[in-house]
Amino acid sequence: MCTAATYKTKDFYFGRTLDYEFSYGDEITVTPRKFPFEFRHMGKRDSHYAIIGMAHVAGGYPLYYDAINEKGVGMAGLNFVGNAVYQAVEAGRDNVAQFEFIPWILGQCADLDEVRALLDRMNLVGTPFSEQLPSAQLHWIIADRNAAITVECMADGMHIHENPVGVLTNNPPFETQMFLLNNYQGLSPKQPENTFAEQLQLQSYSRGMGALGLPGDLSSASRFAKVAFTKMNSKSGDSEAESISQFFHILGSVDQQRGCCEVTDGKYEITLYTSCCNADKGIYYYTTYENHQITGVDMHHCDLDGSELFRYPLVQGEQIHWMN
């Protein structure tokens, strides 16, 4: 499972949790403007916007899971297993392989309007990266500081949904996730008033009872509701420190602890990493399951006019601030 979210204070923030039972070997990867992208069906691009994100680099190619570009657009791929069906290569359309989707969009688009225009001409096709890395079944959230959309390719074609909550998890499809929020419209960060039965003397015997009924399990629909409630009621100061702190708390509401979600005998899904990008400043912050200290990588500290990837292996292991 995974959860992605957007958040705005003074700056625009975009991030995700990546939940899985193993890691592909991920690195914070900066793709500078002149890195040559050879698209399988769309030829070579020698010049594009710079990108920073989490990627598995295979044969020198950045396979991004989530990233932002230097213009402040963010994009993340999350599992959509059993529902993702990619399109066929079609003449006259922009045929983009699923593993190329993030570079294709973030390399060219300065805002969500430009994203929508590109999607209009695009077929998302299932061409695999390699025999070892076949097509992943994903859906995506794409956002800028003003709005977010969800892109889902299914048996009946590509769907582009407005995403007014700025949140994405996994199955079921996005429209159903949004529909299920109807169930929670009575929840509130305020203490409840008794509308149950006026003949009864009911009490608020604990803080937080306004959100009683908000799910706390790790299923995708439950995480959707939990993180949507948390994000939409979240209050934060405008500074960078306050904003990223709050953002990690929002995604912390759907953190997965080892042992609570068994995927096969003795294998457990955990939150491998949590990211928070400042999309305005081009900074990628993250924590990992084993390292709660926030690590940051600033794309503008790299030579963005270069042609070679900048790769930063994840800092692992708890960084404990000893006091004596």
Ligand X SMILES: C[C@H](CCC(=O)NCCS(=O)(=O)O)[C@H]1CC[C@H]2[C@@H]3CC[C@@H]4C[C@H](O)CC[C@]4(C)[C@H]3C[C@H](O)[C@]12C
Enumerate the active-site residues.
2
- Among 167, 127, 160, smallest CA distance to 254 is for 167
- Among 31, 21, 15, 136, smallest CA distance to 76 is for 15
Residues 120 and 105: beta-carbon distance below 8 Å: no
- Strands in 167-168's sheet, in edge-to-edge order, are 167-168, 2-8, 12-20, 270-278, 283-288, 291-298
> How many Cα atoms are found within 13 Å in the side-chain-facing hemisphere of 186?
9
Cα–Cα distance between 250 and 227 in angstroms, integer? 7
- Token output for 149: 């959309």
Shortest separation between residue 296's beta carbon and ligand X, angstroms: 22
Question: What residues make contact with ligand X under the rule CB under 6 A?
Answer: 1-2, 18-20, 24, 56, 63, 65, 77-79, 81, 98-99, 129, 133, 135-136, 138, 170, 220
For 123, other C-beta atoms within 10 Å of its C-beta total 18
Cis ω before 128 (30° cut-off from 0):
no
The 3-state secondary structure of 22-90, one letter per residue: CCCCCEEEEECCCCCEEECCCEEECCCCCEEEEEEEECCEEEEEEEEECCCCEEEEEECCCCCCCECCC
Residue with tokens 């695009």: 122
- Among 163, 162, 142, 149, smallest CA distance to 14 is for 142
- Among 136, 138, 133, 135, smallest CA distance to 152 is for 138
Based on the number of CB atoms within 10 Å of its own CB, is 39 exposed (0-12), middle (13-18) or buried (19 or more)? Answer: middle
